[in-house]
Chain A
Amino acid sequence: MIKGDKILNGKWILSGGKIYDPFKEKYIEGNILISDGKFEKIVNQNYKDKDVNIFDCEGKIITHPFIDLHAHFREPGREDKETIESGCLSALYGGYTTICLMPNTEPPVDTPELIKFIIDKSKEYPVDILPIGAITKGQSGKELTEIGLMVKEGALAISDDGIPVEDSRIMRYALEYSKMFGIPVINHAEDVFLRSGAVMNESIESTKLGLPGSPPITESIMVSRDLMINKYVKSRMHVPHISSKESVELVRKYRETSDEVTSEVTPHHIYFNDESLSTFNSNLKVAPPIRSEEHRKALIDGLADGTIDCIATDHAPHNIEEKESDFMHSSCGMIGLETAFSSSYTALSKEKFSIEKIISFFTLGPSKVMNIKKEFLSPGKQVEVVIIDLNKEWKVTTDDFKSKSRNSGFIGHKLKSKVTSTIYGKDCFINQ
């Protein structure tokens, strides 16, 4: 059971914050009045009621909580790393109330029954969990899953994330078949032959570290193939965790003539570059790898011009044993839900992105990509808001996480802005 740090029984006013509706892209004047966890109305500054409690939001931004298109909770199979419950907690403290879950659990979510398992399991939590089904049975890349039945149970996309669909014929069938369900196909794009045993980006940095590197074209070769197939069969695809300049250029070019491709980038790919790996910090070992500054800049340009629609965490919990093994053998991935907004804000505010634009990468952007219907503050419905302090700076420590895992590359980094509270109905989650 997940319970807020504070339960907002009765009437509450969120007082003093700037309210921003990211779906209508406008500010709302006044204060939010909540009654027993439901949004009642917007009231003006002078509103007085003796029964009302004050929730001080002075100097903060109040907006819709975030939507993550790409998270890995490890249930079923590796509950030692993350359960749906611990993942939801991690999400709530990071400002998220909607999470799309990747299917690479043990076993992978590749049947309607497993989609139902995820949905049933998460019903009681104050987070909307939206499962993504596997493209192929057992994520083996060989045979399509029961996509129609999974969609019927609630799958909102398909992906073999973690493993690329190598076989172009299967990729074609996946894109072509899923067309009739109106869902995007998300392929983890890496040419496995070109990647071979690589553990980081190939550049002068991999040369200096003596680590086998994966060239940036490892990704763009497969993105290029997928775009061509997508165009050929007129389907809908989404490029996850885009990491290279070449991939951004391909997606940009494709989007000149088609709306049928979208893309996401992770906070770590826009915050770090491969020079950050110089101390062999295995928490920065991720797939696709963190690339050089030139690529990081291209990702930021991609966000600026709309080639990249949104920021998605690729939250990938691993236990300390797997991460503390030597760099070659440590697992790929880092957790991200609790640092996503702050790290992205830190990286993007430097590049002159407006706060509204940054919020859109966490709200409007992902809702459009996955066609998730969201409304900010509808009267009589459960209130869902996130409260952000843009002026707060904080240093990430291992104690900061609600996730069961601690594999964050941001530990030790000083980040700008902090999600101070997330409210879902009566439950209020407060970051100290």
Chain B
Amino acid sequence: MLSNKHFISLKDTPKEDIMKLIETGLSFREVLERPVKKVPTLSGKNILNLFFENSTRTKMSFELAEKRLSADVTNFSASSSSLNKGETFRDTVQNIQVMKIDCIVMRHPSPGSSLQLTNFVDSIIVNGGDGCHEHPTQAMLDVMSLYEKFETFKNLKVAIIGDILHSRVALSNIYALKTLGVEVTLCGPPHLIPIGIQDLGVDINYNVDEVLEWADAINVLRIQRERMGIGLIPSVREYREVFGITSKRIENLKKEIVIMHPGPINRGVELDGDVADSDNSIILNQVLNGVAMRMSILYHLLSEGDTIND
């Protein structure tokens, strides 16, 4: 059993839960290597992927995870603009409630929406990303990928580099990594690092070269193009010069460093293509682990007691 009925935030998720999810995730990873990549674990359970925001990759990853657990899957996509047209969040979810869904995976542009959803429906809620708040399943696949690579979290140093302020990945990662005892440094433009974040036990360093020297692994965040042209990031070339993980920077390092990215990558902006494709990179492992970890999370939330290999 996990300590919470829902999977909404990693803020108070205990270490035991995180480790349990990683271990199950690694077992599912083996399932994914089999010729028949499906288990009957969630047969008869229905899961709704409720996406109020486009996210092809997260949605695909969840859908694959659900199907490989033999759950019945329904997809509902609503543009966030329909929310602005007077259709209340409550109306949408109440429609869903009467259809007796076991579990809802929700992606929504507003922070707190997953928590709010728990007030309106009885289903188990999985946060698939709520605005700039959290993306707990992404952070779980990130820590699983780190564990797969390093086999321990002891003495591990991880840097998160980029636009921390607008990232849902960063906060969930910080919570999970700090719970696991990992040292975390944030690196990015000062105005894109949110106020007071040091209170969560992380360090801040604006010098990317120093951060690369320090870190065992770096999680490079996507720089969203819409942040440019509104005064937040002057230009691609300036960002690349100051914070870009370029081939040159990696070549100059006199040590190994693990490269992660939640995707999709802006090649040549925050991360050079050949760095992303290099042996240092575990980016594609993250994608595969994403399916395995989401299987693990859904398994623990929905099917406690059954064994994976039934």
Contacts and interface: CB of A to CB of B under 8 A. Distances in A.
A binds B: yes
Given A208-B11, A210-B168, A327 B111 contact: yes
A204 B200 CA distance: 9
Interface residues of B, number: 27
Nearest to B110: A326
A209 interface: yes
A327 B194 contact: no
Nearest to B91: A321
Contacts of B132: 210-212
A405 interface: no
Q: Which of A207, A209, A325: most chain B CB closer than 10 A?
A: A207
Contacts of B84: 329
A213 interface: yes
Given A204-B197, A207-B195, A213-B195, 13 more contacts: A203-B195, A207-B171, A209-B112, A210-B134, A211-B132, A213-B194, A215-B195, A326-B89, A326-B112, A327-B113, A328-B110, A328-B111, A329-B83
A213 B195 CA distance: 9
A279 interface: yes
Contacts of B89: 324-326
Nearest to A212: B132
B68 interface: no
Nearest to A211: B111
A136 B176 CA distance: 52
Contacts of A280: 111-112, 115-116
B111 A204 contact: no
A158 B83 CA distance: 36
Contacts of A208: 11, 171, 200
Contacts of A279: 115
Interface residues of A, number: 22
B109 A328 contact: yes
A190 interface: no
A263 B115 CA distance: 37
A205 B112 CA distance: 13
Nearest to A199: B111
Contact of A326 (B108, B168, B200): B108
Contacts of A321: 88, 90
Interface in A176-231: 202-213, 215
Interface of B: 11, 83-84, 88-90, 108-113, 115-116, 130-134, 168, 171, 194-197, 199-200
A329 B115 contact: no
Interface of A: 202-213, 215, 279-280, 321, 324-329
A324 B111 contact: no
Contact of B196 (A203, A210, A211, A212): A203
25 contacts: A202-B195, A204-B197, A204-B199, A206-B195, A207-B197, A209-B111, A210-B111, A210-B134, A211-B132, A211-B133, A213-B194, A215-B195, A279-B115, A280-B116, A321-B88, A321-B90, A324-B90, A326-B108, A326-B116, A327-B110, A327-B111, A328-B109, A328-B131, A329-B83, A329-B110
B116 A204 contact: no
Contact of A210 (B83, B116, B130, B200): B130
B133 A210 contact: yes
Q: Shortest 9 CB-CB distances between A and B: which pairs?
A: A210-B133, A280-B112, A204-B196, A326-B110, A207-B194, A210-B111, A328-B110, A210-B132, A204-B199
A406 to B, nearest CB: 14
A326 B113 contact: yes
A203 B199 CA distance: 10
Contact of B133 (A203, A209, A215, A324): A209
